Amino acid sequence: MDMKEAVEEILNGVETGRVFDSHFVVNELIEKHSDQYIRLAAQYATGGEPTLKTHQEIGRIIKGFVGILVKRLDNESWSLTIHHTPGKCALWLKL
């Protein structure tokens, strides 16, 4: 399974009509698809801000499902990051 398939599996697990954010997807990837997450993160390991770049790439993967599985909402969420600090995040609606 590649990262796109892992993200798709997570998105398919969200109930239709539910709102969720990218932090949810990242946490699910870490818990349920850690190998795919680590492989993606490893691509950014030698540059600056590897966590940010990894999570930006995950956001781009989610965006690839716009109109198919998700809709990007105008507002942003305020939720916990993987470091358990609050931060803003892309907000999505499951179609």
Tens of pLDDT, residues 21-43: 999 999 999 999 999 999 999 99
Residue 45 pLDDT > 90, yes or no?
no
The pTM for the full model equals 0.93
- Positive or negative, the Cα torsion across 57, 74, 70, 12? positive
Place of tokens 């609050």: 86
Please report which helix (H) or strand (E) contains residue 43, including its range: none
DSSP 3-state of 42: helix
pLDDT at 84: 92
Residue 47 pLDDT > 90, yes or no?
no
- In the predicted model, what is the mean pLDDT of the chain? 96
In one-letter notation, the amino acid at residue 18 is R
